[in-house]
Amino acid sequence: MASASLPDSPLLTSAKIVIAGGFGVGKTTCVGSISEIPPVNTEAWMTAASETVDRLDPGIDKTTTTVAMDFGRLTIGPDLVLYLFGTPGQPRFWPMWDDLCRGAVGALVLADTRDLAASFPAVNYFEQDSDVPFVVCVNLFDGVLHHPLEDVRAALALPARVPLTACDARDPSSVARALLTVVEHAMSRTPRPAAGALAAR
Amino acid sequence: MQLRYWKVRPYVLTAGRTRTRQPLLVHTLVSVPYYDAVFAAGLLPEARSLYEQARRTARSVAELSAVCGISLGVTRVVVDDLAATDRLLVHTDHDNVDFRLLERLRDGLRKLA
């Protein structure tokens, strides 16, 4: 049966951007601020029972964290949906990253300048183990950029070809601008279609 | 998320399979092309739950997994089975992201920025 041709079920397209970064850099906040659905978590929240395993910096007031991946949804048009997937922060969930990144438009690697080292593994992953275009984004926790971006780039040993930006993960339009940077970076790495190919679509 | 405890082990639903006929990524959209209540009534509870959840709007594999409380791997296999008999429509993804898609994303995000 030619179900695909039924008028009430037009083919939709979905795209995915991966939100990566270290533990506690604000991935869930970032997904939640722009998602039209509450961020869905496919697993449970960290509870007091796992505190000794997932140590949080005592100075950081955070009571829950993502155990597995969480994601949000953003309708771009009537036939296009963008999904945002936060990567699991803890190293023991790393095998999931390849699966999560498959078919992604790009990735936004969040960094916290108070704990840059937390984002080293994520930067490493996208630099060496993945073909997904990525942008590093400093999460402005207090809405203030404490260090010039050039200093952050140097501290992360980030090559010039990787865009570096800043956003406030709590602010939807700020997150949208950061995602825009990811899409534009992906565009710069994707060949433009020939005129004939475009007409055929 | 509401946790549900299903009565059978995951491998009963998947018959031990972990692979799918077609690639089902976490963001791959799935919908029900035409809803069949009689068919739904005959499904195992887990498969039925997935079928019902995809009924109203197209949902991603990850969303279905989360709302039904069924692990991602099992969701993939069951969705794949339902799609093989055209009970579910898989909105095939561009495996390679194309330029046109990026343009549409860029234009959409600009409106939000």
- Report whether pLDDT(A4) > 50: no
ipTM, two decimals, is 0.87
Domain boundaries, chain B: 10-112
Which H or E element spans position A80? Answer: strand A80-86
CATH number of domain containing A114: 3.40.50.300
Segment-wise mean pLDDT, segments of 10 residues, chain B, 113 residues: 61 83 91 95 93 92 87 89 94 75 94 89
Say how far apart CA A41 and CA A107 lie, in whole Å.
Answer: 19
- pLDDT band of residue A161 (cuts 50, 70, 90) is very high
Per-residue pLDDT, B78: 94
> Is residue A153 in some structural domain?
yes
> Would you say how long chain B is, in residues?
113
Q: Is A6 on the interface with B (CB under 8 A)?
A: yes
Q: Under a CB-based contact definition with an 8 Å cutoff, are residues A31 and A19 in contact? A: yes
> Is residue A59 in some structural domain?
no
Say how far apart CA A105 and CA A133 lie, in whole Å.
Answer: 7
A196 versus B81: which is more confidently predicted? B81
Per-residue pLDDT, A90: 66
Inter-chain CB pairs, A–B, below 8 Å: 135
Which H or E element spans position A13? Answer: strand A13-21
Please provide the average confidence, as pLDDT, over all residues in chain A.
80
Distance to chain A for B71, nearest Cα, Å:
8
Residue of A3, A14, A43 to mutate, testing the B interface (most B Cβ within 10 Å of its Cβ) = A14
Per-residue pLDDT, B96: 63
Say how far apart CA A91 and CA A85 lie, in whole Å.
Answer: 17
Per-residue pLDDT, B7: 65
Q: Residue A158 sits in which domain range?
A: 11-40+65-189
Per-residue pLDDT, B65: 87
Q: What is the mean pLDDT of residues A58-62?
A: 49
pTM to 2 decimal places: 0.83
- pLDDT band of residue A51 (cuts 50, 70, 90) is very low
Per-residue pLDDT, A58: 47
> Is residue A23 in some structural domain?
yes
- Report whether pLDDT(A186) > 80: yes
Distance to chain B for A26, nearest Cα, Å:
19
Per-residue pLDDT, B6: 61
> Is residue A175 in some structural domain?
yes
Binary contact (B26, A76; C-beta < 8 A): no
A52 versus B49: which is more confidently predicted? B49
Q: Under a CB-based contact definition with an 8 Å cutoff, are residues B39 and B52 in contact? A: no
Q: Total domain count for chain A?
A: 1
> How confident is the model over A90-132, as pLDDT tens digits?
666 677 788 889 899 999 999 999 999 989 989 999 999 899 9
Q: What is the mean pLDDT of residues A23-49?
A: 72
Q: Is A191 on the interface with B (CB under 8 A)?
A: yes
Q: What is the mean pLDDT of residues A40-62?
A: 47
